[in-house]
Structure 1
Amino acid sequence: MADESYDVIVIGTSQGGRFLPPDLAKAGKKVALVERDHLGGVCVNTGCTPTKTMVASARVAYQARRGAEYGVRTGPVSVDLAAVRERKRGMVAGARENYASRLAQDGVDLIEGEAHFTGPKTVEIALRDGGTRGISAPVIVIDTGNRPKPLAISGAQNVPVLDSTSIMELGALPEHLIILGGGYIGLEFGQMFRRFGSEVTIVQTGPRLMMIEDDDVSDEVAAILRDDGITVLTSATTDRVEEAGGGRVRLTVRTPDGERQVEGSHLLSAIGRVPNTEGLTLAAAGIRLRDNGFIEVDEYLETSVPGVYAMGDVKGGPAFTHLSYDDYRILHANLLGREKASTRDRIVPYTVFIDPQLGRVGLTERQAREQNRAVRVAKLPMSAVIRALETGETRGFMKAVIDAHTQQILGAAVLGAEGGEIMTIIQVAMLGKLPYTAMANAIFTHPLLAEGLGSLFMTLDA
């Protein structure tokens, strides 16, 4: 039996779980919020906030080394990784404190401990300070997020393996960082540590980096990373890892050119993420999981148990903070406004924080053609954008996919300086259902990077 009943229980405090409980409490609901670790979830503690703080430090080092290109004399540049780490820790601590104070002000009952279901609407919590507490509610929201996937290759248990959390706690630069995985996380850390001063090798199983992207985007990203001095191995399968003496690690890798060995000082596994569901005993509540272990939900974010919802990364799909926030928007509308907000047909943008950034929204060219759409493709190198030339940031290109019949923009990729910001302008045009001609004929401020959008869409009529 539950010790106490609530109107709503929220388990976990990622982006959605940060905002929903206070809103529910202010609306007069009795709300319990359960957190087993740090407030703020992945984004605040181990994701967006710390990584982008460190990316900023890496970009400063990169720009400082380029000083001579701009007529600026800087002298030798070195990076104090411990100082970078402390700056990152300060940003994370500030974000946690802001959230904790808001919860107290809004009357949310914060329970620190690990929750597991004992029935469809009952939860038992192993309290952080000892003991247990049982609570129940007619509405429960699961927002427990995800974590790095463990590395399961031969020998991994015998060598130190970093993940996307532990690598940010290093106090000294790796001499040679080997990264397993050519997705967004691996690329961001790879370029970051290369700019800090480490030698970096990226080992990617697939034939290209960032397999979800179009071939030309992936190829250009690989070219940029190689230009930065990073070794990129594709179609490379790691058979085993072992100690190489002196604290070093050695990977045996199969490539199209045969077997080779890669030796380095540190190994980072960036092979994906898994949901934080194993401790929830979801079977006791009758909550179904998908084949990949993520929680199954419908378009209203409701699980197989009526009144139990899942939001954010734990339900699978793209693991973006802003998507978690949109899940919050949907649940806020449906639980408080009695609406029928849905995940159907939502346009999900994202940005990969390599430098230059990759901003993406909508369909790729490959996806559009797989749907048998008649498409037109606009493409413009960043070297054709005046602002990019002036600032010396000419790497990359802009690309847009257009429906040939409706003239609607189906998707875009902006690989260039402030690519995420430029992509967002295209996203707004898509939300407003503007034809591409509206962008081609618009007046953009000169000289901005966004001015290149006019030139991009004019290429369709050239």
Structure 2
Amino acid sequence: MRKFDAIIIGTGQAGPPLATSLAGKGQKVAIIEKSDLGGTCVNTGCTPTKAYVASARRAFVARNSEEHGIYIEGDVQIDLKKIKARKDKLVSESHQGLEKMLQGEKNISLIRGKATFLDDHSIEVNGENFFAEKIFINVGGRPRVPEEFKTVDYLTNRTMLELEEIPEELVIVGGGYVSLEFAQMFSRFGSKVTILERGDQLMKKEDDDIAEAVTEIIKNSGIKVLLNSNCIKAEKESGRIAVIYNCEEGSKKIMTSHLLLAVGRVPNTDDLGLEKTGVELDESGFIKVNDGLQTSVSHIWALGDCNREGAFTHTAYNDFQIVNSQLFEERKRKLSDRHLCYAAYIDPPLARVGLNEKQIRKKGIKAKVAEMPMSQIARAKEKGETFGKLKIFIDAETDKILGATFLGTGADEFIHTVLDQLYAGASYQVIRDAVHIHPTVSELIPTMLENLKDPVENRT
């Protein structure tokens, strides 16, 4: 049995920096990877999808610049093979950088293969046993595939990125941010896209007005949106895919060449052998952790998507920061220090931090709101991109910022104006009294905060 001070399972966003930190402290580290280095973000998430989003944006601009006085003669040609090749190059560069980093450290052993727990301290990989005093689980997640779709050739976010020909038709099941990003990018590439969503709105976690605005943006992208589509399933029919829905009202059917499933993710914990350990899971298979990301076994930690405490690249990296601080730093970071934040990279993007109106109402917090439609912002009008709105919520008793939802051009960047104030614990007056650069979108944030509206609980 090979012995290490620490074993890390998985090379997602938390694993490699933790490995280098442990190794830098003189500890002997094994980091195990059964697939490609880098986890979801590098291979099937942020890096590849945002490369595709960028290409789709170029196609949109090429086709829609006449009102700016720019004319392009002839049809805009889309070469998906070239788009994929660019994406593959970016991914490959990340693989090479990670491998060089991990193999360049003498205290790190990169082990290729599938890890399975033997007990609380021991792991088997490729028939070889490994022992460590500390174990860190960083195994991520994968797309959820309901039984109703397993008889057809469905696509996921991973396989969608391997296509080399643009689908003539694309049906997407699900109405979250993964669905909307792929829907808009492939509509801009030339596919006829339909979204089926079981619920009564897209982006179900967002406020109703934001979801309505997102739906308008998606429909304006040429995408058909079918809400309240229950009992969705798929069958093979004449060499194509029949997507059947609305069984309660008399089933309806859509024929398509391609079907993308975007109905959530499940953790990669079901085949780790965790039943041989004392590590506790929740009802969905996610690993339960405390404020320092320790599992129910104190020398085993869970980081990244498998712990259900973020499911984003930035939260996975912050998981590393939390664990690293708990192990080595005087200032101990905690999971409870973190403010929820994320973006959906539709065009224009949606960005969130902290609480939204739905959550404030549910918690019964007395709050005021500041709002601004993008159509009233000079910079947005100058760019010709006036879709969306800005919302900021303020605690009526403490004057602290509770959260913000921004939908509009550049929202994924200027949301950090609010995010930083949340971490600073500052009163909203700090931003209200700040002088921002003109012309920008963020210059309207101080103006918004000069005009707080009625308490959230009084809004209809």
Task: Report the TM range for the smaller structure's normalisation.
Answer: over 0.9
Q: Is 1:149 the counterpart of 2:144 in the alignment?
A: yes
Structure-to-structure mapping, 1:161-200, within 5 angstroms: 161-200=154-193
> Residue 370 of structure 2 contacts residue 453 of structure 2 at CA under 8 Å; is this kept in 1?
no
Shift of 1:339: 5.5
Where does residue 345 of structure 2 map in the other structure?
353
Change (3 A) 1:11 1:461: closer
Shift of 1:60: 0.6
Quote the Cα distance in structure 2 between the aligned partners of 1:114 and 1:178.
34
Summarize deviations over 1:206-264 as a string: whole Å, max 9, x none.
1111111111111110011011111111111144312232x321112118875322222
In structure 2, the gaps of 5 or more residues are 455-460
In structure 1, the gaps of 5 or more residues are 127-131
Q: Is 1:408 the counterpart of 2:400 in the alignment?
A: yes
Where does residue 343 of structure 1 map in the other structure?
335
Where does residue 129 of structure 1 map in the other structure?
none
SS in 1 for 2:210: helix
For 1:447, the aligned partner's letter is P
Quote the Cα distance in structure 1 between the aligned partners of 2:335 and 2:164.
42
Q: Is 1:90 the counterpart of 2:83 in the alignment?
A: no
For 1:113, the aligned partner's letter is G
Structure-to-structure mapping, 1:380-399, within 5 angstroms: 380-399=372-391
Structure-to-structure mapping, 1:22-41, within 5 angstroms: 22-41=20-39
For 2:96, the aligned partner's letter is E
SS in 2 for 1:93: helix
SS in 2 for 1:405: coil
Quote the Cα distance in structure 2 between the aligned partners of 1:458 and 1:259.
52
For 2:17, the aligned partner's letter is F
Which one is further off, 75-84 or 412-421? 75-84
Shift of 1:367: 0.5
> Residue 115 of structure 1 contacts residue 280 of structure 1 at CA under 8 Å; is this kept in 2?
yes
Where does residue 426 of structure 2 map in the other structure?
434
Summarize deviations over 1:376-433 as a string: whole Å, max 9, x none.
1111001111110000110000011111111111000010001111111111111122
Where does residue 363 of structure 2 map in the other structure?
371
For 1:296, the aligned partner's letter is K
Where does residue 18 of structure 2 map in the other structure?
20
Q: Is 1:64 the counterpart of 2:62 in the alignment?
A: yes
Structure-to-structure mapping, 1:33-52, within 5 angstroms: 33-52=31-50
Shift of 1:459: 2.6
Where does residue 294 of structure 2 map in the other structure?
302
Quote the Cα distance in structure 1 between the aligned partners of 2:198 and 2:102.
44
Shift of 1:170: 0.5
Summarize deviations over 1:352-390 as a string: whole Å, max 9, x none.
101100010000111111111111111100111111000
SS in 2 for 1:6: strand
Where does residue 53 of structure 1 map in the other structure?
51
> Residue 236 of structure 1 contacts residue 256 of structure 1 at CA under 8 Å; is this kept in 2?
no
Q: Is 1:330 the counterpart of 2:330 in the alignment?
A: no
SS in 2 for 1:210: coil
Shift of 1:338: 6.3
Where does residue 128 of structure 2 map in the other structure?
133
Cα-Cα RMSD: 1.5
Quote the Cα distance in structure 1 between the aligned partners of 2:78 and 2:360.
44
What TM-score do the two structures reach when normalised by structure 2? 0.95
Structure-to-structure mapping, 1:143-292, within 5 angstroms: 143-153=138-148, 156-245=149-238, 247-254=239-246, 259-292=251-284
Quote the Cα distance in structure 1 between the aligned partners of 2:259 and 2:19.
39
Structure 1 outlier segments of 4+, above 6 Å = none
Summarize deviations over 1:149-168 as a string: whole Å, max 9, x none.
11321xx2332100010001
For 1:144, the aligned partner's letter is V
User: How many pairs were matched up?
Assistant: 452
Shift of 1:287: 1.2
Quote the Cα distance in structure 2 between the aligned partners of 1:231 and 1:255.
20
Quote the Cα distance in structure 2 between the aligned partners of 1:256 and 1:151.
19
Quote the Cα distance in structure 2 between the aligned partners of 1:325 and 1:95.
16
> Residue 146 of structure 1 contacts residue 273 of structure 1 at CA under 8 Å; is this kept in 2?
yes
What TM-score do the two structures reach when normalised by structure 1? 0.95
Quote the Cα distance in structure 1 between the aligned partners of 2:416 and 2:275.
41
> Residue 170 of structure 2 contacts residue 194 of structure 2 at CA under 8 Å; is this kept in 1?
yes
Quote the Cα distance in structure 2 between the aligned partners of 1:223 and 1:258.
27
Which one is further off, 324-333 or 435-444? 435-444
SS in 2 for 1:119: coil
For 1:170, the aligned partner's letter is L
